[in-house]
Amino acid sequence: MNKKQIVVSVVVVAMMTYLFFLPVKGLIKPKDTKADKANVMAPNRKAAAVTVDMVSATAKTAIGAALTAKINDLEGQLKNASETDQLKLQKQLAAEWDDVNQPAPAAFYYQALARKENKLEDWLNAGNRFNDAYKLTQDTLTQPVFVSNAAEAFQNALKLKPESLEGKTGLGVAYVNGAASPMQGIALLLEVVKKEPNNWNANLNLGMFAMKSGQYEKAVGRFKTLLAQKQELEPTFYLAESYKQLGMKKEAIDAYQKCKEMMPDPVFGQRIDEYIKELKN
């Protein structure tokens, strides 16, 4: 699988899996107690059971033999490296996994760097990759680990820079994904868009969470805000889905057609054609 194919598969999996198979609990009937907050912020009990080796082994099945061999070589060097060389190799491994759009192993390497050097950029990178990894998996063992680690990363980032909008956005997403305190997460995302109305990540996630709670009109507004800035596949797809749920068939079909133009992938195109056919019947 080449890098272009990897990017295509990651985008499609992110859209289809995250939207349809990972319900957000508590968005309609929120709970926001101190106990809930503590539950989200505390390290997950299963965290020790998931390691970078585990997620790397899974990721290697998606990247091909040549790239796997390169990463295996770097991993071998890391096992016997000095502390100084370890940092260099961890940075290299994080970048290699980033380059092939595999956020789970990249997240663990950024986390290792952040815990050693306590740099804002590393905490943000770790948190963003853990959120992305959560978005791409249905594994019930790794999901709580990813969200717990994401929350930890963004909390530490905000200690270093309390007004970081990227940090607040990421933490908001982690809180909603964690399900124990979703409204606290939504509040953080709303705080971000109040300060920066066109913030891409905050608007995208607010739109997706609105869809999950059945608030499709709100979702449409969020995705239109994004598409007014830049025509991208993910918000276009979610806009089409929102229109479909609102019964706005013509608008949904138009948006789905745009998705096909943006993603010239036969499998994705076939699925979109099925959606359009259903709307026309």
CATH 1.25.40 assigned to 214-281: yes
CA distance 253 to 256: 5
CA distance 267 to 252: 19
Determine if the pTM surpasses 0.85.
no
CA distance 136 to 142: 11
Work out the pLDDT band at 5, boundaries 50, 70, 90: very low
Least confident of 24-38, 65-79, 123-137, 140-154: 24-38
Residues of the chain with CATH 1.25.40.10: 4-8+11-213
**Which tens digit of pLDDT belongs to each residue from 106-123?**
999 999 999 999 999 999
For the residues 66-74, what does the mean pLDDT come to? 96
Work out the pLDDT band at 26, boundaries 50, 70, 90: very low
Work out the pLDDT band at 266, boundaries 50, 70, 90: confident
CA distance 90 to 51: 14
CB 105 within 8 A of CB 52: yes
Fold of 4-8+11-213: 1.25.40
**Which tens digit of pLDDT belongs to each residue from 191-211?**
999 999 999 999 999 999 999
Per the prediction, the chain carries an average pLDDT of 86
Let me know if 186 is exposed, middle or buried by CB neighbors in 10 A (0-12, 13-18, 19+).
buried
Residue 42 has pLDDT above 60, yes or no: no
